[in-house]
Amino acid sequence: MIIGVPKEIKASEYRVALTPAGAGMLKAAGHEVLIESGAGEGSSFMDDAYAAEGAAIAATASEVWAKAEMIMKVKEPLPEEFGYFREGLLLFTYLHLAAAPELTKALVEKDVSGVAYETIQMPNGSLPLLTPMSEVAGRMAVQVGSQFLEAFYGGRGILLGGVPGVPPAEVIILGGGIVGTNAARIALGMGASVVILERSADRMRYIDEVFNGRIRTLMSNPYNIACAVKKADLLIGAVLIPGARAPHLVTEEMVKTMKKGAVIVDVAVDQGGTIATIDRVTTHKSPVYEKHGVLHYAVANMPGAVPRTSTLALTNVTMPYALELANKGLEDAVRANEPLRKGINTYKGRVTHPQVAQAVNMPYISMDQLLESVAFDKLS
């Protein structure tokens, strides 16, 4: 198979979908690798490092897209890349289609097989290709939140951990999953007072045990959320429903009750966001806006700000799946790998993930049904 890696074009996105080591692994398995020149520079991987592993260097993105049978990316394709779509192309990347109906339609219309990192799901419900970026984003949420709490940026002018005789900041985290627990770990380490709102009693017991009772937990319901939001100096949205739009848990009326100069960091913005007042996506170059006296941080590619760490963490988990797709082809790979099968969002001109189909209001057909039809066509 020919695997292509174009340079990411999303604003301030410096990650790359394949490291030189990954290129070498694909070459060793008998595949061809085509890297757009400069694709890895943001993560400090130069063209010559890829070439040394046997990858070919392409001068333009159009060359990569045209020649590749499988495209590996980090972020979802932008409208200027839709023209590269063609029938039979395999796209392996973060897609977040629930918040991207136009991208979904383009993939379906051009019959692109879209395999989304974020919906590959293990039998226990874990999301192995989303986990490392959730870890990065959770830890970053506290870093950026503490920065924008500084008066210079328009924040409340408070130190997250306080000092002796001065209380610490109140950090409220919506969701006790990977993002939430990583955010809590950093906030607690900086000396903040931390509350996690979570709807799973078992998860709250886990958090209480892991953090030895140093983090308060509350059942996530509208009343508790409203009370907690009002007290927050830093509010972190960390809720994810695989494949679906993030639910709006914090209303505009709740935001109006927040302290002047408080900060909201919504990690779920790439899935639509959990805060009603997150009405736009921001970038690393212009990350915040003010509404109702509260600073809103709504960057959809937070890990892109630490690309070296993020690229290494991401490719550690994507490479086994990339090799399986390249070695076996899509159909045979997903027949043998149920978690990978759940990653397929579009195939044969149809939406194959139920939550995505519901979110974008398009017909759904299961991947199992489509695979049966493909097998029947081959037999006939």
User: Mind listing the pLDDT tens digit for each residue in 276-327?
Assistant: 999 899 999 999 999 999 999 999 889 999 999 999 999 999 999 999 999 9
Each residue's pLDDT tens digit, 116-152? 999 999 999 999 999 999 999 999 999 999 999 999 9
The full set of domains in the chain, from first to last, is 2-116+307-378 (3.40.50.720), 131-305 (3.40.50.720)
**Cβ neighbours of residue 118 closer than 8 Å, sequence gap 6 or more:** 94, 95, 96, 127, 129, 130, 242, 243
**Cβ neighbours of residue 8 closer than 8 Å, sequence gap 6 or more:** 14, 15, 16, 39, 42, 73, 74, 75, 304
pLDDT number for residue 235: 98
Catalytically annotated residues: 96, 270
pLDDT number for residue 372: 81
Mean residue pLDDT of the chain comes to 94
Maximum Cα interatomic distance, the chain, rounded to a whole number of Å: 79
Instruction: Find tokens 């939550």 and name the residue.
Output: 355
Residues in binding site: 15, 75, 134, 203, 220, 239-240, 267-270, 280, 299-302, 324
At residue 378, does pLDDT exceed 70? no
Pair 356, 97: CB distance under 8 Å:
yes
Can you tell me the mean pLDDT for 5-29?
A: 96
Each residue's pLDDT tens digit, 34-72? 999 999 999 999 999 999 999 999 999 999 999 999 999
Which residues face 236 on adjacent strands?
A: 173, 265
247-265 burial, b at 16+ Cβ within 10 Å, e below that, comes to ebbbbeebbeebeebbbbb
Minimal CA–CA distance to 155: which of 262, 255, 230, 233? 262
Cite the DSSP H helix spans in 45-130: 47-52, 61-67, 101-109
Instruction: Find tokens 């924040």 and name the residue.
Output: 155
**Among 108-117, 342-351, 369-378, where is mean pLDDT lowest?**
369-378
Pair 61, 82: CB distance under 8 Å:
no
At residue 380, does pLDDT exceed 60? no
Each residue's pLDDT tens digit, 248-274? 899 999 999 999 999 999 998 987 889
Instruction: Report phi then psi at 7, rounded to 5.
Output: -75, 140
Minimal CA–CA distance to 174: which of 125, 218, 233, 127? 218
CA dihedral sign of residues 239, 244, 246, 251: negative
